[in-house]
Amino acid sequence: MICNLDSLCLQFYPRLRLLRWEWRGPMSLGRFQVAFSQMLVFASQHTPNRWLIDLATMPPLGIDEQEWLSEMWLPCAQNLSLRHLAVVLPNSLHNQLVIENVIQDGRQYFNANMQFFADSTTGLDWLTGSAQLMLDLEREWQAAHIIHLQT
């Protein structure tokens, strides 16, 4: 299932309780807060325990987004059943440093098995344990991305 929440694109695979997300669109604090708040509601309703966070193309995060994530979102998200976290590293060094800080802050809220990846397919492969399922999810994701670009 693919779902768009403001500037976040989500993919949820219920059988594995796998949630994938990627930021799409311009960055502003307001959009960031709305999208991440909506994702928190989605995650609370669907209880994913495997997350793929694709930060590769995320626009530059500011100090306001970093502070909001660390001080507001992470404490609210601590009740999620997160067990496995695959993080696709940002392309920009700036965002890598921001994400390192947020991850460090998040360690007090989450005790998840975390791995870092250069691309989403290897992260999906790790989370699913199945090359075929990884390919099926990737095809669904790419098809949704093409539809999103056409609208």
Q: What pLDDT digit, counting tens, does each position of 43-63 carry? A: 999 999 999 999 998 999 989
Quick one: average pLDDT of 24-45?
Answer: 91
Q: Which pLDDT score is estimated for 103?
A: 85
Give the three-state DSSP class for 5.
strand
Report residue 73 as tokens. Answer: 């979102």
Q: Which of 28-32, 63-67, 135-139, 146-150 has the lowest mean pLDDT?
A: 146-150
> Percentage of the chain with pLDDT > 70?
96
Model confidence pLDDT, tens digit, residues 101-123: 888 888 888 888 999 999 999 99
Model confidence pLDDT, tens digit, residues 2-20: 888 778 899 999 999 999 9
| Cα separations in angstroms, 27 against 53, 55, 61 | 17, 13, 8
Does this model's pTM top 0.85? My answer is yes
Q: How confident is the model at residue 87 (pLDDT cuts 50, 70, 90)?
A: very high
Nearest Cα to Cα of residue 124 among 109, 110, 142, 111: 142
Structure-model confidence comparison of residues 105 and 146, the more confident one: 105
What does the domain layout of the chain look like in residue ranges?
A: 2-150
| Cα separations in angstroms, 93 against 57, 61, 75, 122 | 12, 11, 26, 21
Give the three-state DSSP class for 86.
strand
Axis-axis angle for helices 131-150, 120-128 (nearest 10): 140
Nearest Cα to Cα of residue 49 among 1, 81, 13, 24: 81
Across the chain, mean pLDDT equals: 90
On the 0-12 / 13-18 / 19+ scale of CB atoms within 10 A, 62 is: middle
